[in-house]
């Protein structure tokens, strides 16, 4: 099997991207609302997979952002190989990467600023801002050999762990100060794991310095949910993992089955490694077992163990799509996903900006019988999803593919 060339679209990547973006735009299919309205039913069983973990752990919903960022990295080797073939210089490609970074950060800040805000809200935790903050470094490292990319991943994750461990554990006063916050109930970890507590960790301390250097309507204290600007550093390791995978798929001389097996096996090994880092180590005499978690899996601050675990799950999901599309040739089956995957930025922005407006207009223009009381949360979100898909389908038919 010949390596995939830069001129060949990896349809399995488009399908996987489309699946992730449709999952994001689904708004969780209204399952959380159904569980709240009908407790004790099947909705309670599936709800955890369609909501973010309160702090420690992993759900399907948590995998949306790392999947998206991983695929950004995967696309880079294909994109810049094509630019080289068209004769673009290094400086031309570097300028494209830098301008893309700036635009993504600007869009992220725009989305963080809500309609009720009177001034720009300078927060950089949105996925677009996070990609933008790391994209130029991603471009530079992805041009090097796989050894440099892998070394970069290891150094980033090890250095970020060192950064957190060397930040002092929270004092009793600091813990008391955050105890009453609504999002802190699950974010206080005992013992050594306290280095990754919500609002008291090293990245939170950085934001209390950095964000207060920028114009703010009021002094920055903390971010709801515990998300931090510096998440982009370990998330860069996630994107570099995508670049490593993209380079492998583009250059490997393995058969499609061999590539798929490599993706799957690597994914399983990473899931095992991430789980092992989060596993509670046997206690010493008189100590509590949960005081000895080595490195907790926390998506909201992108702990290195989260980067490893989520990267493993992304590879497993990618291997499924690669098997369906590249090995079994089920291209028609994934066509509805490809339509979205080729205009992922469109559906992301439209959902972020227009989901409420679409819902309002669905109620205006459809009869009330279209929204039976029991199923209203599900129908509303599926209706929004269908409208967004139709827009992507129209763009696909026009051969209009919007990129940054």
- For 96-122, write each residue's pLDDT tens digit: 999 999 999 999 999 998 878 888 899
Decide which of 181 and 82 is more confident.
82
Which of 138, 192, 153, 204 lies closest to 308, judged by CA? Answer: 153
Decide which of 83 and 292 is more confident.
83
Whole-number pLDDT of residue 3: 58
Q: How far, CA to CA in Å, does 328 sit from each of 264, 321, 376? A: 16, 10, 38
Q: Give 333's DSSP letter.
A: T
Stated pTM of the model: 0.92
- For 353-396, write each residue's pLDDT tens digit: 999 999 999 999 999 999 998 999 999 999 999 999 999 999 99
Q: Which of 110-124, 175-189, 308-322 has the lowest mean pLDDT?
A: 175-189
Give the residue carrying structure tokens 């993706």: 263
Which of 202, 181, 192, 168 lies closest to 302, judged by CA? Answer: 202
- Angstrom distance (rounded) from CA 60 to CA 253: 32
pLDDT of 8 > 70? The answer is no
For residue 56, the SS3 value is: strand
- Angstrom distance (rounded) from CA 258 to CA 121: 48
Whole-number pLDDT of residue 353: 92
- What average pLDDT does this structure show over 126-137? 96
Query: What does pLDDT average to over the chain?
Result: 91
Whole-number pLDDT of residue 175: 86
Residue ranges of the alpha helices (H) in 121-196?
127-142, 146-165, 172-179
- Tell the burial category of 244 from Cβ atoms under 10 Å away from its Cβ (0-12, 13-18, 19+): buried
- For 26-77, write each residue's pLDDT tens digit: 999 999 989 888 887 788 889 999 999 999 999 999 999 999 999 999 999 9
pLDDT of 290 > 60? The answer is no
Cβ atoms of 288 and 274 closer than 8 Å: no
pLDDT of 5 > 70? The answer is no
What are φ and ψ of residue 218, in 5° steps?
A: -150, 155
Decide which of 344 and 180 is more confident.
344
Whole-number pLDDT of residue 281: 56
Q: Buried (b) or exposed (e) across 182-221, using 16+ Cβ within 10 A?
A: ebbeebbbeebbbbbbbbbbbbbeebeebbeeeeeeeebe
Whole-number pLDDT of residue 181: 79
High-pLDDT (> 70) share of the chain, %: 95
- For 215-241, write each residue's pLDDT tens digit: 988 899 889 899 999 999 999 999 999
Whole-number pLDDT of residue 233: 98
Our CA dihedral for 318, 320, 325, 330, rounded to 10 degrees, sits at -150
- What average pLDDT does this structure show over 259-275? 96
């Amino acid at each position: 099997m010949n390596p995939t060339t830069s001129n060949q679209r990896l349809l399995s990547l488009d399908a996987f991207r489309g699946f992730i973006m449709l999952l994001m735009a689904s708004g969780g299919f209204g399952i959380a609302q159904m569980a709240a309205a009908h407790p004790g039913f099947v909705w309670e069983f599936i709800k955890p997979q369609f909501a973010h973990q309160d702090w420690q752990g992993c759900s399907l919903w948590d995998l949306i952002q790392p999947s998206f960022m991983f695929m950004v990295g995967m696309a880079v080797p294909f994109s810049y190989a094509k630019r080289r073939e068209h004769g673009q210089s290094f400086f031309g490609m570097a300028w494209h990467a830098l301008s893309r970074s700036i635009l993504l950060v600007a869009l992220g800040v725009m989305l963080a600023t809500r309609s009720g805000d009177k001034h720009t809200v300078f927060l950089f935790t949105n996925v677009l801002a996070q990609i933008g903050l790391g994209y130029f470094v991603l471009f530079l490292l992805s041009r090097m050999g796989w050894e440099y990319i892998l070394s970069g991943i290891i150094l980033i994750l090890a250095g970020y762990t060192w950064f957190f461990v060397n930040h002092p554990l929270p004092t009793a006063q600091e813990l008391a100060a955050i105890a009453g916050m609504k999002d802190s109930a699950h974010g206080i970890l005992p013992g050594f794991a306290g280095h990754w507590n919500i609002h008291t960790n090293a990245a939170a301390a950085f934001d209390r310095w950095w964000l207060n250097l920028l114009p703010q309507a009021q002094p920055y204290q903390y971010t709801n949910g515990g998300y931090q600007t510096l998440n982009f550093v370990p998330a860069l390791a996630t994107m570099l993992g995508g670049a490593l995978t993209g380079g492998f798929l583009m250059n490997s001389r393995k058969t499609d089955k061999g590539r798929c097996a490599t993706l799957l096996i690597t994914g399983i090994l990473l899931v095992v490694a991430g789980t092992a880092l989060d596993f509670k180590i046997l206690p010493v005499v008189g100590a509590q077992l949960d005081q000895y978690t080595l490195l907790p899996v926390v998506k909201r601050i992108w702990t290195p163990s989260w980067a490893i675990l989520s990267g493993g799950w992304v590879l497993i999901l990618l291997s499924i799509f690669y098997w369906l599309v590249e090995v079994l040739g089920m291209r028609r089956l994934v066509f509805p996903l490809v339509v979205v995957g080729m205009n992922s930025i469109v559906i992301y922005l439209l959902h972020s900006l227009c989901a409420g407006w679409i819902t309002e207009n669905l109620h205006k223009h459809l009869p009330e019988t279209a929204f039976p009381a029991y199923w209203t949360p599900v129908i509303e979100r599926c209706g929004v999803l269908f409208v967004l898909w139709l827009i992507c389908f129209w763009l696909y038919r026009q051969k209009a593919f919007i990129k940054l």
